[in-house]
Structure 1
Amino acid sequence: MSKKISNSRLLLVFIALLGLYAISRYIEARRSANTFHTTLVKGIDSSKVASVYIYTRENKDKPIHLFVHNGKWMAEQSGITSLAEERSAEYVIDQLQQITPDRLASNAPGQWQHFLVTDTSGTRIVMLGREKDTMLDVIVGKFGFMPQQRQGISYVRINGQKEVYGVPGFLAMNISKDFDSWRNRKIVFPEYLTYSSLSYSCPGDSSFTVKKDSAGAWRFADGAKTDSLATAKALATLCRQNYGSFVNRFDTAAAQPLFTLKVTAVPNGTVILKAYPASDTVNRYVITSSINPGSYFSGAKDNLFKNLFLGRRAFLYHKEDEKPKAGALHTKAVK
């Protein structure tokens, strides 16, 4: 009798242990399957994102900080603040929202270094809400390319979790950029057909103004005509100068601009460009723009000063600028 009772008790204990094991496995499976999706895809409301910190592997102690100020995204690092590149912050948020795991690469911490998702080897992205609440904390690591699928793959790990996921796309490449890549380089309005006047203030008697008349022709302020082809070339050169090299920590209060350019466009309004003398020969001038306050650009690099502050001559016809006719050089040589 006692033997039957003992066997029954053992059976009950076995069943109970089996049930506990099944429950624990179910909970672990649910946690492993759902955490990535819930945290990364469903948990982000882009309208509530207030700032993003990017800790690149090269500058862990100097994060790139993207944040909203007066309705505009700004970029900051080491005390240098400027407008963020248009849609750069929105692009990062959008990329993170759309991440879906392609496969579980590993759930072993010993493999983190291989996928570059450790605290020191990966690029960490921390996304904060308006109340400074953490909306996302993810480490983006190694990038690879899958030839058969013809697509890139980035490896990511939620900070605080052990799973490493491979996700399709170029996230790892897109967020591993230096600070200047996140900054707005805009200086002038990009479409010269909207321009209605240019007013140059230069040293001596070299100041001048050109305006578009009611017929669409460009003239100097005294009524003299400009050359249409030369003017089109000058305006096309001017409007393309939105790729300058940054100069940091320049004090405009300690200097006076030598050159000023006012570009009026319809319907954009007026942008004011100023050229300050630089104390070095590398930059020669420091350029500022009213549509990009707080940013300073090198006048020498990429010929920015030369391409912005065009002289009166740039709007006139010059015979020596004409290309020789086909055969002209050959005819001269024969003579």
Structure 2
Amino acid sequence: MHKPYNNKILSITFGVLFVIYLATQFIGSEADERNFRTDLVTMDTTSVTRLVLNPKEGEAVTFTQEQDNWQVSQGGKTAQADQQAVQSLLGTLLQLEPQRLAARSEEKWNTFEVTDSLGSRVQAYSGENLLADVYVGKFSLQQLPPQQPMQPGMPPMQQQRPKATSYVRLADEPEVYAVDGFLTTSFNQPFNSWRDRNFLQLEKEKISRISFQYPADSSFTLALTDSTWTVNGTPADSAQTAQYLNQLVRLTSSDFADDFNTQGQNPIFQARIEGNNMSPVTIEGYESNGSFVLRNSLKPDVLVSSDSSGLYARVFKGREGFISIEE
């Protein structure tokens, strides 16, 4: 007499349990898919005092903070670092946001090139305290389809840029993560790319006199007298003088000549820059195998090379370069 009622209860109970089972499986699979780190590196970048970068090829590059300035060294060579490049490297570490889990075990490390021999490694320290230790491996590019037109009948929009994905892992964990971006260029640059490229920076308004010392009798002086630039007392062409000064006050170069030895050599060319409320600056030019090597008194240990049309030509201009053609 009670069987239909009991069967109905059993059916409802079974249905409820089945729904719970399905929900549990779905939620479990969702959780499993997102069961990985959301941030790989969490640190206060202001506390970082040293970075050690082991590129995919070549010697390790070390960045050391000294009196709020970063120095970069490789082998036995040390130089002033490009401060913005170091900050960009730190920012790249903080922005390593996993998009998905690419592998869970060491078996896939070679596949994604996140080993000492196949990938790059960067370590961040605060004193002797290790803050971050990350391997950067291979990358892949995915060509995205063109964007759909705004309205039917319109031609397809411009092809989208390929999506770059890089693979990384933390040194003390087996998991490999896929992150957005083309990280190879960030972690595999030659030593000179990390160096400060600023050869000379001056304030144009303070300059009032430049003395050029050249071989033979070609030396002359460019001077500002009563708001007028003159060459050995003769009025100079204002446009050509302004153009020269504009390029002189911001000189950069990445063609470093570290192997050039100035000891025992006298410069062939000199330009002494003087002015109001500024220390005099002397730029020296040496000849070297058909090209030139330059340095200035503000950075006497930094030597850069130039051909006849490069940095050399921007500094060492002849007298005729300041005189109007009509004269």
- Give the TM-score range, shorter chain: 0.7 to 0.9
- Which secondary structure does the structure 2 equivalent of 1:254 belong to? coil
Answer yes or no: is 1:65 the counterpart of 2:58. Answer: no
Unaligned runs of 5+ in 2: 1-31, 145-159
Aligned with 1:144 (options 125, 133, 140)? 140
| Amino acid in the other structure paired with 1:230 | Q
What SS is found at the alignment partner of 1:232? helix
Task: Look up the match of 1:273.
Answer: 283
The 5-angstrom pairing of residues 75-224 of structure 1 reads: 75-130=72-127, 132-148=128-144, 150=161, 151-189=163-201, 195-213=207-225, 215=227, 217-220=228-231, 222-224=232-234
Corresponding position: 1:316 with 2:323: yes
User: Cα–Cα, structure 1 residues 209 and 72, in superposed 2: closer, same or farther, change >3 Å?
Assistant: farther
**Counterpart of 2:41?**
41
Q: Which residue of 2 is the match for residue 287 of structure 1? A: 294
Deviation (angstroms), 1:81: 1.5
* Change beyond 3 A, Cα 1:91–1:225: same
Deviation at 1:146, TM superposition (A): 4.0
Note closer, same or farther for the CA distance 1:170–1:265 as it changes in structure 2 (3 Å cut): farther
SS in 1 for 2:239: helix
Change (3 A) 1:302 1:85: farther
Residue type of the partner of 1:33?
F
State the shift of 1:122 in Å.
Answer: 0.7
- The alpha-carbon deviation at position 190 of structure 1 amounts to 7.2
TM-fit CA distance, 1:275: 1.4
> Unpaired runs of 5+ in structure 1?
1-28, 321-335
User: Aligned partners of 1:211 and 1:236: how far apart in 2?
Assistant: 16
- CA change 1:146–1:303 in 2 (3 A) is same
Question: Equivalent of 1:300, from 277, 283, 307?
Answer: 307
Measure, in 2, the Cα distance between the counterparts of 1:264 and 1:234. 15
Is 2:72–2:78's contact at 8 Å kept on the other side of the alignment? Answer: yes
CA distance in 1, matches of 2:94, 2:276: 37
Segment of structure 1 superposing worse, 156-165 or 145-154 = 145-154
**Given residue 130 of structure 2, which amino acid in structure 1 is its aligned partner?**
T
- For each residue in 1:215-265, what CA deviation from the matched residue of structure 2 results, as whole angstroms up to 9, or x when unmatched? 3x4223x43211112223333444564134111233333322222223357
Deviation, structure 1 residue 319: 4.9
Change (3 A) 1:173 1:207: same
1:251 aligns with 2:261: yes
CA 1:301–1:231 in structure 2 vs 1: closer, same or farther (change >3 Å)?
A: closer
Distance 1:81 1:266, change over 3 A: farther
Q: Pairwise CA RMSD of aligned residues?
A: 2.9
Contact 2:202 2:249 in 1 (8 A): yes
Gap change, CA 1:121 and 1:300, over 3 Å in 2: same
Cα deviation code 1:170-221 (max 9, x no counterpart): 3332221111111112112277566443232333333322234453x4223x
The whole-number CA distance in structure 2 between the counterparts of 1:267 and 1:162 is: 59
1:51 alignment partner in structure 2: 50
Match of 2:172, as an amino acid?
G
1:329 corresponds in structure 2 to none
Q: Indicate conservation of the 8 Å contact 1:187/1:242, yes or no.
A: yes
Superposed CA deviations along residues 96-147 of structure 1, whole A, max 9, x for unmatched, are 12221111111232222222211111111111212x2211111111223344
Q: Give the TM-score normalised by the residue count of structure 2.
A: 0.74
Q: Is the counterpart of residue 226 in structure 1 residue 236 in structure 2?
A: yes
Secondary structure of the structure 2 residue equivalent to 1:246: coil
Greater share of helix residues, 1 or 2? 1
- Hey, what does 1:26 align to over in structure 2? none
Higher mean C-alpha displacement, 66-75 vs 284-293: 284-293
CA spacing shift, 1:288–1:128, aligned 2, 3 Å: same
Letter in 1 for 2:138: K
Shift of 1:47: 1.5
Relative to its length, the structure with more strand (as a share) is: 2
* Residues 196, 93 of structure 1: alpha-carbon distance in 2 compared, 3 angstrom cutoff: farther
Q: Which amino acid aligns with 1:41?
A: V
Equivalent residues of 2:192, 2:254 under 8 A apart: no
Q: Determine the C-alpha separation between the residues in 2 that align with 1:71 and 1:253.
A: 31
| Cα deviation digits, residues 261-290 of structure 1 (max 9, x gap) | 233577775543211333x33xx3321134
Corresponding pairs, count: 279
